[in-house]
Structure formats: C-alpha cells, structure tokens
C-alpha cells in the first residue's frame, strides 16, 4: 500500500516561488545550530562570494527553511523508489529488500502523528514492520521530523546515530559556469546490460557494484524524467558515473562514483557538468545532492562545482 508524502501539494506550490521568481532570499541558520537545520549564509552572501557564477538570476533561491527541508526529503525519497511504502498516519515506512540504501529502508517521519497518539506505540509499530522485512528499525531525521523531539525520544530508546548526511544545493547555471567536460547521457536506464557494464565505476567490491545496479532498478521504476551519465563519453572509456531524477523543478543527483585509479582527473566534474545541462534542458534547474558528512573529498568536489551546504539530516537505528 502506498501513499503520497504529506503536504505534497503545499510543498509543490511553495517550490514555484524559488529561483528566478524569488525576490526575497531566505536567511538560513548558522552552522552552530547543528544537525537537522539549514546551514550557511544568505543568498546575498553567496552572490558576493561568486557562488552564483555572476548570474543574479541563477535558480538557487529556496523556499522557507522548513518547507525546503520537507520538499527535498520527499523528492529524494521518491527518487529512490522504495519497493514498499506503508503510511503510519503522517509517517512513511519505507522498505526495499533489494536496495542497499538507508533512505529506502527507513522511516520518513515528516508528517507527524495525530494529537493524542502515543509516539511510543507508533515506534513499536515501526519496529514490528521492519522486523517483518528482516531490516533494522531506522529513522531518517531532519529538522522537518515530527514530533520535534523525536530524535531525543529515539535516543532514550537506545537508537544510535548511524551516519550524518549533508544536503547540498546549487543552480544549474552556477554548476555549468564552474565545471567543464563532457559525459554521455544514456537512453538505456533500466537495461541490465548497461547497468552491468557500468557497475564497476563505484569500485570492484560486491557492495559498490550493487549500488550502481540498485540505482538503475530505481530509476527504471520512476514515472518522471531520469537518466544516467558516464564520462568520458566514448563507448567503453567510462570511469565515472552519476544519476539524475527531475521532479517539480528540482533535479536530484545520485550515485556519483569514480573508479579509484581515475579520481581527481576531471571525470566526476564532467559528469556534474553534463547532469547540470540535462537538468536545465528538463526545466528542473534547481540541483540537490546528498553526501555523507565525513566524505570530505566529495564535499570539496561539490563545493568547487558551486554547491552549498543547505541542511543536514541523520539516521537513528535501533541496536538489536
């Protein structure tokens, strides 16, 4: 059984106010405010630092803080195409036995619970759901999570923070101005031969290859524009890969990977450049991506390409 994410219509309407039509750049919380909050400065400060590539109309401006968090949490969830989505009031319980992604195997609790419902009872329902799917109970927690003290409640129940993730955003105009190189846009997403041929770009380990195959399966299940890009573009020469999903004016970038021996040679930058151009061509020029906080090399690459830290979330997982 599936259900649309909470507040979707409202979020979509708010999202149309960002970008070139926005006249009042929102102000974000300072980095000191911690995980689950928007970080960085104002868009005026970004402009002063050259992060808009000199284009004052670059489509990077975002909706008000809580709305953009909820919107991007939802879009990223939909882009990963969880195999099972079970609503628990406003919470979404997601499970994908064949996908190695935490996002597809965790609760998105942004819709909250009705007044009077026991949060503890809801958590017990969550734990039973994941036990039935042979998965650990796990929550994805951003500042949009409801109730607002859910993180503390889970901490008291013994849930541990598994990883912290930074969501970074940029306008396609910015990324195109700050990157270069060409990649090959595939028209073969969902075809097993293409996925197998490019699976090694995340590395030769079984887990790394599984991630590329899982992204291919997820994109094939979507009803919105999606693609994969390989660089360099010549057939058989690819060493870097990335995927993109466009929806409601935003393009999510997922599954970026470069073979170890080819890193820091411009291939990943070429993938980003090609994905940004694809996003602009599909009327979804607001870009977002997610990267683990400890992955400093990737964060440096994305910052140089024009992305800025926008907010953080983390996972809390039940310890057996």
Considering 29-43, 175-189, 264-278, the range whose residues carry the highest mean pLDDT is 264-278
In a shared domain, residues 100 and 184: no
C-alpha–C-alpha distance, residues 320 and 270, integer Å: 43
Q: How many domains does the chain have?
A: 2
Domain coverage including residue 245? 171-309
DSSP assignment of 200-234 equals GGG-SSHHHHHHHHHHHHHHHT-SS-EEEEEES-S
Please report whether residue 315 resides in a domain. Answer: no
More confident residue, 230 or 57: 230
Please, what is the average pLDDT of the chain? Answer: 77
Model confidence at 52, pLDDT cuts 50, 70, 90, reads very low
Domain boundary (109, 144, 166) is at 166
- CA distances in angstroms from 268 to 182, 273, 302, listed in the order given: 10, 9, 10
In a shared domain, residues 180 and 161: no
> Which structure tokens are listed for 172?
């396609």
> 188-210: per-residue pLDDT in tens?
555 556 666 666 666 556 666 67
In a shared domain, residues 50 and 141: yes
Considering 31-40, 164-173, 238-247, 264-273, the range whose residues carry the highest mean pLDDT is 164-173
In a shared domain, residues 123 and 215: no
Whether residue 41 has pLDDT greater than 70: no
In a shared domain, residues 161 and 177: no
In a shared domain, residues 245 and 96: no
> Which structure tokens are listed for 189?
């997403």
CATH number, domain containing residue 181? 3.40.630.30
> Which structure tokens are listed for 186?
């595939």
In a shared domain, residues 228 and 279: yes
Res 100: pLDDT: 81
Please report whether residue 317 resides in a domain. Answer: no
C-alpha–C-alpha distance, residues 140 and 120, integer Å: 17
Tell me the average pLDDT across 161-184: 95
Tell me the average pLDDT across 46-67: 46
Domain boundary (131, 166, 201) is at 166
> 71-123: per-residue pLDDT in tens?
999 999 999 888 899 999 899 999 998 888 899 999 999 987 765 568 999 99
In a shared domain, residues 161 and 178: no
């Amino acid at each position: 059984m599936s259900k649309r994410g909470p507040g979707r219509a409202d979020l979509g309407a708010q999202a149309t106010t960002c970008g070139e039509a926005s006249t009042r750049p929102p102000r974000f919380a300072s980095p000191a405010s911690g995980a689950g909050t928007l970080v960085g400065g104002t868009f005026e400060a970004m402009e002063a630092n050259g992060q808009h590539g000199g284009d004052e109309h670059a489509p990077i401006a975002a909706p008000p803080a809580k709305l953009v968090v909820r919107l991007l949490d939802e879009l990223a969830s939909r882009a990963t195409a969880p195999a099972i989505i079970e609503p628990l009031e406003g919470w979404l319980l997601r499970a994908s036995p064949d996908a190695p992604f935490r996002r597809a195997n965790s609760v998105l609790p942004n819709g909250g619970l009705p007044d009077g419902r026991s949060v503890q009872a809801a958590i017990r329902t969550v734990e039973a759901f994941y036990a039935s799917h042979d998965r650990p109970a796990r929550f994805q927690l951003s500042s949009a999570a409801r109730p607002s003290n859910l993180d503390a409640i889970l901490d008291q129940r013994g849930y541990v923070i598994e990883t912290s993730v930074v969501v970074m955003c940029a306008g396609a105009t910015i990324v195109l101005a700050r990157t270069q190189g060409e990649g090959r846009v595939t028209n073969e997403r969902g075809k097993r031969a293409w996925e197998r041929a490019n699976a090694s770009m995340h590395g030769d380990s079984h887990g790394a290859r599984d991630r590329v195959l899982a992204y291919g399966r997820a994109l094939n299940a979507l009803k919105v524009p999606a693609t994969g890009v390989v660089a360099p573009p010549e057939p058989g020469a690819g060493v870097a890969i990335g995927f993109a999903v466009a929806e409601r004016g935003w393009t999510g970038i997922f599954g970026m990977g470069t073979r170890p021996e080819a890193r820091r040679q411009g291939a990943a930058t070429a993938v980003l450049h090609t994905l940004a151009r694809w996003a602009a061509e599909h009327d979804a020029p607001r870009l977002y991506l997610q990267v683990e906080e400890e992955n400093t090399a990737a964060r440096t690459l994305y910052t140089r390409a024009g992305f800025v830290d926008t907010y953080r979330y983390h996972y809390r997982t039940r310890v057996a």
